[in-house]
Amino acid sequence: MAISRRQFVLQSAAVYTALASIKVNALAKAVEETGIKDLYKHDFHIGTAISGSNMRASDSSFLGLVSREFSAITMENSMKWERIHPTPERWDWETADKFVDFGEKHNMYMLGHVLVWHSQVPDWVFQDEKGKLISREALLKRMGSHIGNLAGRYAGRMTAWDVVNEAIDEDKGWRKSPWFNTIGADFMDHAFNFAHDADPKAHLVYNDYNMQNPAKRAFLVDYIRKAKKRGVPIQGVGLQGHVGLDFPNIQEFEDSIEAYAAEGMRIHITEFDMDVLPVAWEFMGAEISTNFEYSDELNPYADGLPAAVEQRLNDRYVEFFKLFLKHRDKIERVTLWGTGDGESWKNNFPVVGRTNYPLLFDREYKRKPCYDAIAALKK
């Protein structure tokens, strides 16, 4: 049956409107499914650290946010020695297994954190049954066994490992940890060799804070040069990136990126967060045993962040991400130390009970202006 010109025009308009609606809905869905990782996909991985409680809860909303926004993940605490290997005969694999399964499901860059560290290690690792320090040989055996079991369990699945964490004591050289005191300065060589033996395909990283410190930088560069001659398989350096509105000096941070990269290291920004609160007693480290007494003066934004401070936060995020983009050829990934402000360790470190705003998402996991600011760099 023939239709009039008017009917044809009306039907065509209806079809056009329907197609336009489909296109708009598809675009809206695409925007909803696109995260910061997609904007930076040609530059470096964007990652987050996941707490054990969030991993075990398997909350689809939270994990959906993580998989949409990030291409790299780190286990915040549940792979540390005291959590995953609390007693000589006991291993707690549940949370770590969920982490690896989740990462594989979403084809993510997975960083195992951490194989050797002086903190969050049970006393039994360094002592015998009578509480006396064990020998160098015995401690090396325990180190090798732990790394072999942990890195070996996920061999071929884990992308990279923080092999050694925080082994340099600012401008004092090697930290006088139980690892150093018992084994000696070559404990780090052994850790990297054990990790490589356990998983030859994994990318192996040394990770530390205050990596912009010139003396710390010089000490690590010297170690890297000598270690490479010894055949130690160190392949990356992690700069933790616990920064603030006024520290560190960004030129010194850039100098360190360039110095480590010049030694053939891939650069990882491993634990990035932006502290907006007053510095307690000029403390700017990340040694977790440190704490200071609470005072209202040290917690000025309990009821929200003033607009002027929020703008400083945005500007500082932009400053650092411009630096990262400048050195995109050297940087493997940039990982935020957490997803939402409410879960950040900076609420309780180095002063317990404060309200901080260091991450890209707020306490309800909504994107913050600082998210929009670094996203705008790629649009």
- Give the burial class of 352: count Cβ atoms within 10 A of its Cβ; 0-12 exposed, 13-18 middle, 19 or more buried: exposed
* Positions of the chain with pLDDT lower than 70, given as ranges: 1-33, 280-292, 294
287 is catalytic: no
pLDDT, residue 356, reads 97
pLDDT, residue 14, reads 54
32 is catalytic: no
CATH number, domain with residue 199: 3.20.20.80
**Is residue 5 situated within a structural domain?**
no
Q: Count of domains in the chain?
A: 1
Q: Map residue 361 onto helix, strand or coil.
A: strand
| Residue tagged active-site, from 69, 271, 332, 343 | 271
Q: What is the pLDDT of residues 69-123, one digit of tens each?
A: 999 999 999 999 999 999 999 999 999 999 999 999 999 999 999 999 999 999 9
Element (H, E) at 244: strand 242-244
Q: Map residue 167 onto helix, strand or coil.
A: coil
**Is residue 16 situated within a structural domain?**
no
**Is residue 240 situated within a structural domain?**
yes
Beta strand 331-336 with 242-244: parallel, antiparallel or unpaired?
A: unpaired
**Is residue 17 situated within a structural domain?**
no
pLDDT, residue 4, reads 55
**Is residue 305 situated within a structural domain?**
yes
Beta strand 236-239 with 266-275: parallel, antiparallel or unpaired?
A: parallel
**Is residue 21 situated within a structural domain?**
no
Write out the residue range of the structural domain in which residue 267 sits.
39-376
Q: Map residue 276 onto helix, strand or coil.
A: coil
**Is residue 33 situated within a structural domain?**
no
Average pLDDT, the chain: 91
Return the number of other C-beta atoms located less than 10 Å from residue 349's C-beta.
Answer: 20
Q: What is the pLDDT of residues 274-325, one digit of tens each?
A: 999 987 655 444 454 556 676 788 899 999 999 999 999 999 999 999 999 9
**Is residue 6 situated within a structural domain?**
no
Q: Token digits for 373?
A: 């600011």
pLDDT, residue 293, reads 75
| Residue tagged active-site, from 69, 76, 166, 343 | 166
Q: What is the pTM of this model?
A: 0.88
pLDDT, residue 33, reads 67
